[in-house]
Amino acid sequence: MTIYKQKKFFVKGTNLMVTAGRMILKTKMPTQFTTLKAPLKTGKPGILANPVYSTETKMPVLRSLLENAKKLANKEEISLAAELEIKGIIPKQHADPQNDEHKLYTLHKNIAASLLQINRPEPGSMAFAKAEDYFALTPNTPKVGGENWKKVQVLLHSPEELLKTTKHGIEVMKSNSIDNSISTVAYVFPVAGEASRAQKYAAEHPELVDKISKLQNLSQMGNDSLPPRFLFPISTLKGNKTLYGLMLRNILNTSESLNLMSLVISIFNHKSSNLVIESLKNEGFGNLAKEKLDLLLGSVQSTAPRIFVSDMETTKNTYATGHGEVPYTLAKTNMFQVMKEMGIKYLIFGNADEFLWGSDPTMIGLADKLIKGKGYNGVVFVVPNSNNQPGGGVVRDLLKPTTSFKLCESPCLPSDLSDGKTNPSAINTTFYILSVKALASKAAHFLNLAPGLDIKTSNERGRNEQVGCLETWAGTEFTKNLNCAFVMAPRAGFFLGIKTLEHTHSDNIPPEIKDFPNHRFSNWSYEKLVKYLANSQPTLIQKLINGDKTAAYEIWRNGYSYLADPIITGINE
């Protein structure tokens, strides 16, 4: 059992004693947040199941956006689509072009493209970042544009420098001048997504739904139901674990190995909070020591209805409007300042299903050097767009060429960057390490949230219809307000990119594996890779913490991939 050496204080009116950092949190924690102590012990979400509606503030914005967007669309196409929708036609991309299914698919695609013009700036106003605009983790990190990385771009020139950076990261994490029992690194994860893509893929692959139904242990879900993506169950050497459970456990275990505790904030969707809490309780998080539970916080993301494109009627159901609201919420509640007062220096943001992210001190060491040594406010990790797929990426504002690079998502790109011909050189991982000092100083800027219009589908009225919704993106909000360094990492073994059950439980082979330096993995399926990484990455991180030169060389030579040979990790295939 770890003993935390720190001056303690009595909580007024009780006989409880807490350390300085926990005292600050207890007295200054915003009312929008709660500790997860009671939920994780009882398995009941409590107030985390209470909806927070933002209908009055969001619906006028959405209605105005959609009304103006429809002026840019073809009214005849919208009418034709509505007729097919009423007939119960389901859009299908690969149906016969003469069939109504394919016609509706084409109409939906054209309508969405027209409506999204409302978000797009003028053509020629932005340009995607080029190879010379990125840092690279090691000289062996996959290249962009076929050119070798220049020496000034490389952050870790040797395995020895890697281990030196790991050691520096550990020192940073242990340098809390307010409370030396609390890590200087805090974490925030949105655990709120509602992914229609995952649902669609599951409907087409019932055998995979059946596979995970045998792994999950959720009393509130039927065997034919699909849990939220971050609760996909993975079979590990320590039993069945969810993606978010793996991520949270890795973070807490790394902190524990350094004799530290960590502040972790989960942003819930009230509709799935019961499943998340039940899952985490089943994975033993309710058995954590009280002082650790005090630092696990939760908040509920607000939701709002959507609007049907065809007749502008409002949906009865409400939905979260993107993780761009996370920085807004943290700024509005003064949480950035509370973290700063607790002695926290860095905030890690990521997706709740990316269990490889967040627990590596080497990344903290790198971020500290870039932020303190080169004047950045934060670090954003990206991976090569090896398949040249269209979508959002790192851009520069050509109308303001002196401004720093920022992330821009696909619906908000100018038309000349969203036509499928000019594509980004890198893909956003949603892995960010940000200076808490910078976040606190820029808090007012994060209150100017600028949502965009997105188009999704709904079956609420018994047919497949398009709906307009508000969408916000954390990467956009963070990078438009902070000067961030963009660091290239390998896709394989660093970024899972989980969107559907294909990426966790299928026998398909990930395309990025074909170019991976260690050919031992060349025929491994998504399922085999995810299982192996779930078992091996925590061991690999501990080897780095312990100064293991062999592990450092393996990671370094693979461009900083956690996909290390089983001989190195000691984990059987």
Q: Which pLDDT does position 450 carry in this prediction? A: 87
Strand 484-488: give its sheet, edge to edge.
34-35, 296-300, 264-268, 185-191, 346-349, 426-435, 378-384, 484-488, 135-136
Q: Is the pLDDT of residue 10 over 80?
A: no
Strand stretches in 463-513, DSSP E: 465-471, 484-488
For residue 537, which amino acid is it?
Q
For 356-377, write each residue's pLDDT tens digit: 999 999 999 999 999 999 999 9
* In contact, 366 and 379? CB cutoff 8 Å: yes
For 548-562, write each residue's pLDDT tens digit: 999 999 999 999 999
The predicted model gives 480-508 an average pLDDT of 97
Residues 6+ apart with CB under 8 A from 124: 398, 414, 416
Q: How confident is the model at residue 16 (pLDDT cuts 50, 70, 90)?
A: very low
For 430-482, write each residue's pLDDT tens digit: 999 999 999 999 999 999 998 999 999 999 999 999 999 999 999 999 999 99
Q: Which pLDDT does position 528 carry in this prediction? A: 98
Q: Which pLDDT does position 17 carry in this prediction? A: 44
Report CA torsion sign: 264, 267, 270, 274: negative
Q: Which pLDDT does position 173 carry in this prediction? A: 99
For 326-344, write each residue's pLDDT tens digit: 999 999 999 999 999 999 9
Q: How confident is the model at residue 32 (pLDDT cuts 50, 70, 90)?
A: very high
Q: How confident is the model at residue 199 (pLDDT cuts 50, 70, 90)?
A: confident
Q: Kindly state the helix (H) or strand (E) to which residue 253 belongs, with its residue range.
A: helix 243-257
The CA–CA distances, whole Å, from 35 to 17, 38, 260, 290, 352 equal 17, 8, 18, 11, 18
Range 401-440 burial, b when 16+ CB lie within 10 A, else e: eeebbbbbbbbbbbeebbeeeebbbbbbbbbbbbbbbbbb
Range 337-359 burial, b when 16+ CB lie within 10 A, else e: bbbbbbbbbbbbbbbbbbbbbbb
Q: How confident is the model at residue 7 (pLDDT cuts 50, 70, 90)?
A: low
* In contact, 299 and 26? CB cutoff 8 Å: no
For 256-284, write each residue's pLDDT tens digit: 999 999 999 999 999 999 999 999 999 99
3-state secondary structure of 338: helix
3-state secondary structure of 501: coil
Q: How confident is the model at residue 224 (pLDDT cuts 50, 70, 90)?
A: low
Q: Residue ranges per domain, the chain? A: 8-543+551-569
Q: Is the pLDDT of residue 8 over 70?
A: no
Q: What is the mean pLDDT of the chain?
A: 93
* In contact, 334 and 403? CB cutoff 8 Å: no
Longest CA–CA separation in the chain, Å: 75
Q: Can you identify the CATH homologous superfamily of domain 8-543+551-569?
A: Spore Coat Polysaccharide Biosynthesis Protein SpsA; Chain A (3.90.550.10)
For 125-172, write each residue's pLDDT tens digit: 999 999 999 999 999 999 987 789 999 999 999 999 999 999 999 999
Q: What percent of the chain has pLDDT over 90?
A: 87
The predicted model gives 219-235 an average pLDDT of 80
The predicted model gives 392-413 an average pLDDT of 93
Distance from C-alpha of 116 to C-alpha of 258, rounded to nearest angstrom: 48
